[in-house]
Structure 1
Amino acid sequence: MTRPTSRDVAGAAGVSQATVSLVLGDKWRGRVSERTAALVRETATALGYRPNLAARNLRLGSTRTALLVVPALTNEFFARVYTGAARIAAEHGFGVVLYPSPDGTGPARDPFASARAALDGVIASSMAAAALDAIGGDDLPLVMLDSDPASPAAAHVNLAMADGMRQIADHLLHHGHRRFLHLASAVDSWTFHIRARALADLLTPTAELRTTRAPLTVDSGRRAVETALAGPGPRPTAIVCDDDILAAGACKAARRLGLRIPEDLSITGFDDLALATAVEPELTTVALPAEHVGEHGMTALLAVLDGTPWTAPDLPVHLVVRDSTGPAPTP
């Protein structure tokens, strides 16, 4: 059976091949009516038409491929970011190559002989920014996720991280907590710096805030909290963790020390991973719309490639209150 061509679609729809090309290339707005665009898409679907991407890419000098750079595939958050980016990419005939930094959050090997030859643009998490040096392709359009808005990039997609910390602080202060431990990520990244700064600004001078840092693993979080709680001075009544993985470690530390959650110690996380409902008690945490981050990242890259300025407000986040937080213990 002969594969239908754009000429076949044009003939069946009663339009020109140029119109078919505009519609199926998603360049029709302002040039073709919505009714005609819908007719072309319906006709192409009915005929089983599939564009010859290789020929089109050769003609346009484009691979229609984006690179998504993330710290690690083992982190559920970034798997969801990829899902969102890939969904938007597929709607526009793009592919997404997922590139996790082999060491999690550090330098990486160049995955391509020539980034310019293989890619149209890059979407990168600030947590994997060091990998960009190895990838090269400095002239490629770059969209940064969860990064300093002042950093060089064609566009930025950020989450309202400071507001997430505000919601945590308000929740715990409302429950009477005044002695806090911040279990901070040891990763040197803007997203964690902004969380730490927001928490300090929110709690000073109404509460006491101590900070301890740990790599992003459950066991590292457990050890850091065990050491912090064994230190001198009054014990904190609430632990604010930079993510759910560290919060799970904090919960393990509390149990090993014979502390009840939340009667003796309230614990909060960040991300709302599946892990948040796997621990007992279930974790109060800030839910981040990871798939929306990916969707906005790919949308921003498409806008940049189309020569359209792209700006958007920070994506909202919200506190999910579960059983790991409660009133501060009575002295």
Structure 2
Amino acid sequence: MQTREPVGGARPTSKDVARAAGVSQATVSLVLAGKWRGRVSERTADLVRQTAGDLGYRPNLAARNLRLGRTRTVLLVVPALTNEFFARVYAGAAAVASEHDFGVVLYPSPEGVEPAKDPFPSARAALDGVIASSMAAKALDAIRGTDLPLVMLDSDPSDPASAAQVNLDIADGMRQVTDHLLGLGHRRFVHLASAVPSWTFEVRARALGAALRAAPGASIRTVAAPLDVSGAREAAERALAGSGPRPTALICDDDILAAGACKAVRRLGLRVPEDVSVTGFDDLALATALEPELTTVHLPAERVGEAGMSALLAVLRGDTPTPGDLPVTLVPRGSTSPPAA
């Protein structure tokens, strides 16, 4: 098929594509927007795509966005940029967004509970929607107002502010941990709990307490720790060196806390897992960097981001997102074993 370059080597337009293909400009717009089925024949759609490729045509997204009255930009708000989990959530969201010509702006809001400041002169003018991971919905009020749709990830499903929710089955993850440790014979536990006030950590505590209350002879003590290795080490040392029978297993809310717990065990002259078993939650890269490698719950962070972006796109289309929690999986490794006789 013969095509003509636009006069003067200028960037080809949809009008140029229409002229070269012998179709209307409206037909070109339908085909290149993926809305041609039922309106244009498959043969014509193939011709338009081929012609656009031959001419080197690329849609003017800025002009298209002005026509649509939309920015094709989404804000992803996370508690921290240093946590690998949120980096993976972003990667998943950005992958789905790119397939639909959307961009994702990543924005941190410390700890996810304080009000987040609007990063734009007006977020409602600059964005199509907001996705928030492990945040409190009320923390987003200054950004989204009442106009922007909000999709909450790993957050309280009872919050009425969100247009859609994507959650992990956190409670089942903690049940898998307790079933694993009880099956090994452990009965004396310390829960090294994150001191960050967050729905996801509250769910872990409730699920752990319920599982162990149903286990004959099991006892548990909860010790709060800041979400960093040093603070977790100090909290775990206090728990292990306290009076009474030593716990045989430390159940940690997060792999970072588990890393601190492992350091505490060694500093007290004990061994993991021979003297004290340690479990984490998240399955960060850190889990396999520890020695022994950490028994932990794998959270599909990329899938969370993908599902969150897909849910927001569904809301923008006027559709109802698919409900349901994403499954999580226990990964047993070397940091757990039966308790010493």
Runs of 5+ unmatched residues, structure 1: none
Does residue 161 (structure 1) correspond to residue 144 (structure 2)? The answer is no
TM-score (norm 2): 0.90
Give secondary structure in 1 for the equivalent of 2:86. helix
Of the candidates 192, 216, 228, which is equivalent to residue 201 of structure 2? 192
Match of 2:33 in 1: 25
Contact 1:69 1:128 in 2 (8 A): no
Distance change >3 Å, CA 49–CA 262, structure 1 → 2? same
Distance 2:50 2:179 in 1: 52
User: How far apart, in 2, do the equivalents of 1:38 and 1:329 lie?
Assistant: 70
- The within-5 A match list for 1:28-67 is 28=36, 40-41=48-49, 43-67=51-75
Q: Indicate whether 1:286 and 2:297 are aligned.
A: yes
Q: Is the 8 A contact 1:108 1:130 kept in 2?
A: no
Other-structure match for 2:86: 78
| Contact residue 3 and residue 49 of structure 1 kept, 8 A | yes
CA distance in 2, matches of 1:70, 1:149: 17
Q: Are 2:277 and 1:266 aligned? A: yes
Shift of 1:80: 0.8
CA contact (8 A) 1:155 1:311 kept: no
Matches within 5 A, 1:1-331: 1-11=9-19, 16-28=24-36, 40-41=48-49, 43-102=51-110, 106-127=114-135, 129=137, 131-152=139-160, 153-206=162-215, 207-330=218-341
Query: What amino acid does structure 1 have at the position aligned with 2:166?
Result: V
Q: Is the 8 A contact 1:179 1:209 kept in 2?
A: yes
Q: 1:125 to 1:254 in 2, by over 3 A?
A: same
Q: Deviations over 1:68-113 (max 9, x none)?
A: 0001110011011111111111110111111111567533332112
Tell me, in whole angstroms, the C-alpha distance in 2 between the residues paired with 1:128 and 1:105.
Answer: 5
Alignment CA distance shift 1:36-1:218 (3 Å)? farther
Identical amino acids, percent of aligned pairs: 75
Alignment check: 8 A CA contact 1:268 1:324 kept: yes
User: In structure 2, do the counterparts of structure 1 residues 259 and 242 end up closer, same or farther at CA, with 3 Å as the change threshold?
Assistant: same
Deviates more, 1:225-234 or 1:65-74: 225-234
CA distance in 2, matches of 1:35, 1:203: 64
How far apart, CA to CA, are the structure 2 residues paired with 1:254 and 1:160? 30
Contact 1:81 1:291 in 2 (8 A): yes
Following the alignment from structure 2 to structure 1, what is the Cα–Cα distance between the partners of residues 14 and 262? 60
- Decide whether aligned partners of structure 1 residues 56 and 254 sit closer, same or farther in structure 2, where only a CA change above 3 A counts: same
Displacement of 1:134 in angstroms is 3.5
Quick check: 2:135–2:152 contact (8 Å CA) kept in 1?
no
The one-letter amino acid paired with 1:199 is L
- Normalised to the residue count of structure 1, the TM-score between the two structures is 0.92
Relative distance call for 1:36 and 1:175 in structure 2 (3 A) is: farther
The 1-side partners of 2:289 and 2:170 are apart by 24
- Deviations 1:175-222 (CA, angstroms, capped at 9, x unpaired): 111111111111111111111111111111311111111111011111
Structure 2: give runs of 5+ residues left out of the alignment: 1-8
Distance 2:261 2:219 in 1: 19
The CA distance in 2 between the partners of 1:273 and 1:49, in whole Å, is 43
CA offset digits 1:16-49 (Å, max 9, x no partner): 4334333433445665677766665555445432
Cα distance, 1:59 vs structure 2 = 1.0
Query: Matches of 1:26 and 1:19 in 2, distance apart?
Result: 11
